[in-house]
Structure 1
Amino acid sequence: MPVFSPTLTLYIARRFAGMALAMIVALAALVALFDFIELLRRAATREDAGFALVATIASLRLPFVIMQILPFGVLLGGIIAFWRLSRASELVVARAAGVSAWSFLAGPVVVAALLGVLAMTVISPLSAAMFSRAERMDATYLRNAQSMSSLAGGRLWLRQSDDSVQPGGVAILAGVPEITPRGFVLREASLWRLSATDRPLERVEAPEALLTPGAWELSQAVTFATNRQPTPPESLRVRTTLTPDRIEESFAAPDTLSFWALPEFIRVLESSGFSAVRHRLYFESLLSTPLLAVAMGLLAAGFSMRHARRGGVAQMLGAGVAAGFALFLLDKVVEELGQAGTLPVVLAAWAPSVAGLMFALTLLLYVEDG
């Protein structure tokens, strides 16, 4: 009967956690260094972009870098930790004493899951806030972009709920976006009001629509009812949950949004007529982070628990690293398919984690002879 040793499990978990954290820090520092060098190169032709600005942008991107390399940190840290334990024959003695690999791997699995949960709930919001600020500084000083004002020049289409005319109604607002001292404005605004069954109720034309807290203010608005007879120009107020920040964020990368704010933002985005595929995919990917970390930890165990005297250790370790990069490639491929709408969002987000977990469990069953 397999033996469970809490002391051994805790010992292996501690070794695994220490090496995984060390690899995460090392990889993050390496990637941040290359990012810093690239920013320095781009800032070389900018007189107003000094060393302090570049260092600030690179520092603000650090939590984002940690989020990206965390699975590889768990994989490489786990490979080194288990390889050291195998080289010292500690795992061999434990298994000879009747302790199953499934028993002493419980500790590393819990550690990997906790690292994933920590990344999802704590590091992700911190990364979103800091990365968003870094992107704004990058756009202002290194790319000379103008944030939401870059939307001007083309018509912007918005869709939202509108029950002021009929319960369950929908409002579609279109216009040329512009940033003014008064706030966000849609020039040459057109408003279509539809019933819950998409039956046209009325159309409104106005020179502009000003976005104020909680409502759109349409000045000199002319309303055309179903009989197509216009009404005299008047001021019109249409309730909305949109804000200038939410409109801007809908065109920004999902990485700049907090994990905790994403569900509500997705709901508002979809009710306003924007596509929320990228944001839903990113949110589901964050939810799968603990499972992906567990899969990486088990992959590390499966590829590194081979005893040194049996030979082929280097090949097994190399195969483990290759499997990690193959999983990364799979993740990027299904992500592109998910964003294109070819795959359902949930499948695109969870497939790499589930595939990695199944492969790791199959490998461990083979190592343990079932």
Structure 2
Amino acid sequence: MTAAAAMPRHRRRLSWTLSGYIARQYMLWFIVFLLAISGIVLLAGTADRMDRMANRDGVTFGIVLSVAVFRLPSLIQETMPFVVLGAAMFTFWRLTRTNELVVTRAAGVSAWQFLLPAVALSVLVGILTMTILNPVGATLLSRADQIEESYDPTPGPSLALRGGGLWLRQDQGADRLMLHASRADEETMTLYEVIVFRYQDEEFLNRMDASSATLEPGYWAMRDVWLSQAGTPTIFEREVRIPTNLTSRKILESFAPAETLSFWDLPEFIRLLQEAGFSTQQHRLEFNKLLALPLLFTAMVVLAATFSLRPQRRGRVGLIILAGVICGFVLYFMSSLVFALGISGKLPVAMAAWTPATIALALSLPLLLHLEDG
């Protein structure tokens, strides 16, 4: 007779004492896994930054370490599903190995009930990750990027969005251009209602007002241009070409990456992107991914339970736990694929962001139901 068959039909309510005990066990393993993975990520991040910044002038080990530390919260956010999965697996495995859960289930407490403390804590962790860890990580990641750019001998263009349009800075030797446009066409890389301020060695040269500016290979093609310069009359030109080393890819990459924007700032930035005429796929996907974190962490706990609640006498415990870890990695790679499809527009953004968590929960719930009720 199995343990499930030996259970009484009457179900008891989960006591606060038992709930607190399971929650403490879960939080203990959560902290252990969080610290262990954070240490590994920090070592790997330091080695990666050393490789990237080793040949730059003035870079010391302290600077490399500070960049790696600033990047750590953002990287921890990416590994948090594995922390939740590992903590839940070891919590349930330990309670099963010591027969504590067997006794609990024999007393009439179902698997669904003693999952509640871990699920509740995981949902809380998801909310805190979304609302606190993400903003902190985004701020520190931006700071890390600024430090790296300050030691980069060939900085890229700088692009900023404001309520009145977009600003683009182009540095080319001693010449500097500051372009302002009210909107843009991403497909043709054309800016509309353009104002260009030209500087040389930090000294203002002139201003150009144009109806449009299209990025061509090696130059900006500006049309219907009014050229203003101190001490001279304003001149009208049908077309003016301004040399540039920019490309469409460089300009698009100069947008603030979604990872450097906090959960609270993303909606406003998405609105500004839409008004400026640029794609919002990546940023909307990031926002929906953050909203899906509580559901994803819940799925990780249920997935862990399906692999670690099996009675020890059935053997092959190590293989079962290994299977759970492999499932976690498969889910990670599947998520990366689905997210890529969402960014490329092959899938709706909301579907791409919520699919991994939904699939993981939809697959693990029936397995847990079979384990609990036979």
2:25/2:91 contact within 8 Å kept: yes
- SS of alignment partner, residue 41 of structure 1: helix
CA shift, 1:318, in A, is 0.7
- SS of alignment partner, residue 61 of structure 1: helix
Match of 2:257 in 1: 253
Q: Show the 5 A alignment for 1:146-161.
A: 146-148=156-158, 160=183
Deviation by residue 1:232-257 (Cα, 9 ceiling, x = unmatched)? xxxxxxxxxxxxxxx99972311001
Q: Does structure 1 residue 141 correspond to structure 2 residue 151?
A: yes
Q: Show the 5 A alignment for 1:161-240.
A: 172-174=192-194, 189-191=210-212, 205-207=225-227
Q: Does structure 1 residue 82 correspond to structure 2 residue 82?
A: no
Aligned partner letter, 2:211: S
Among 1, 11, 19, the alignment partner of 1:9 is 19
Q: Show the 5 A alignment for 1:263-274.
A: 263-274=267-278
1:74/1:293 contact within 8 Å kept: yes
2:227/2:236 contact within 8 Å kept: no
Deviation by residue 1:308-365 (Cα, 9 ceiling, x = unmatched)? 1111211110111011011101110011101110000000110001111111212211
Match of 2:334 in 1: 330
Q: Which runs of 5+ in 1 are unaligned?
A: 162-170, 193-202, 209-218, 225-246
Match of 1:128 in 2: 138
Aligned in 2, Cα 1:155/1:51: closer, same or farther, shift over 3 Å? closer
Among 35, 53, 56, the alignment partner of 1:43 is 53
Aligned partner letter, 2:112: W
Aligned partner letter, 2:140: M
Structure 2: how far apart are the matches of 1:177 and 1:287?
41
Q: Does structure 1 residue 321 correspond to structure 2 residue 331?
A: no
> 283-292 vs 131-140, which deviates more?
131-140
TM-score (norm 2): 0.76
Structure 1: how far apart are the matches of 2:361 and 2:198?
49
Structure 1: how far apart are the matches of 2:38 and 2:364?
25
CA shift, 1:147, in A, is 4.6
CA shift, 1:118, in A, is 0.5
Q: Which runs of 5+ in 2 are unaligned?
A: 1-9, 159-167, 185-190, 214-222, 239-250
Among 299, 306, 311, the alignment partner of 1:307 is 311
Among 125, 143, 149, the alignment partner of 1:115 is 125
Match of 1:22 in 2: 32
CA shift, 1:110, in A, is 0.4
Give the superposed CA RMSD.
3.2
Q: Does structure 1 residue 102 correspond to structure 2 residue 96?
A: no
2:57/2:151 contact within 8 Å kept: no
CA shift, 1:151, in A, is 5.3
Deviation by residue 1:26-72 (Cα, 9 ceiling, x = unmatched)? 11210111110122233332331001101110110111111011000
Structure 1: how far apart are the matches of 2:178 and 2:20?
60
1:67/1:119 contact within 8 Å kept: yes
- SS of alignment partner, residue 48 of structure 1: coil
2:157/2:171 contact within 8 Å kept: no
CA shift, 1:80, in A, is 1.0
2:342/2:352 contact within 8 Å kept: yes
Aligned partner letter, 1:3: R
Structure 2: how far apart are the matches of 1:268 and 1:63?
27
Q: How many residues align?
A: 318
CA shift, 1:221, in A, is 9.1
- SS of alignment partner, residue 279 of structure 2: coil
Q: Does structure 1 residue 344 correspond to structure 2 residue 364?
A: no
Structure 1: how far apart are the matches of 2:301 and 2:199?
49
Structure 2: how far apart are the matches of 1:106 and 1:14?
13
- SS of alignment partner, residue 373 of structure 2: coil
Q: Does structure 1 residue 55 correspond to structure 2 residue 65?
A: yes
